[in-house]
Amino acid sequence: MKTRIKEFRAKYNLTQEELAKKVGVRRETIVFLEKGKYNPSLKLAYKVAKALKTTIEELFIFNEDN
């Protein structure tokens, strides 16, 4: 899965740490999400999308092959 978290974070001038605090996770979780190494729960995906003022569909690009 690919994400556009880094792109949206830059748009709102947020650091990984700031985004992590907004959604209640550790900074490392944001790092793993951005690298596509972690599939978030639906609840976390919703929180991240809401914090970045976008939708889950805009933020996460699901690869049908996986």
**Residue-by-residue pLDDT tens, the chain, 66 positions:** 899 999 999 999 999 999 999 999 999 999 999 998 999 999 999 999 999 999 999 999 887 765
Report how far Cα 52 is from the mean position of its chain's Cα atoms.
8
Residue 65's pLDDT is what?
63
The listed CATH number (1.10.3720.10, 1.10.600.10, 1.10.260.40, 1.20.120.450) that belongs to domain 2-61: 1.10.260.40
Cα–Cα separations (whole angstroms), residue 64 to 2, 21, 46, 61: 11, 31, 20, 9
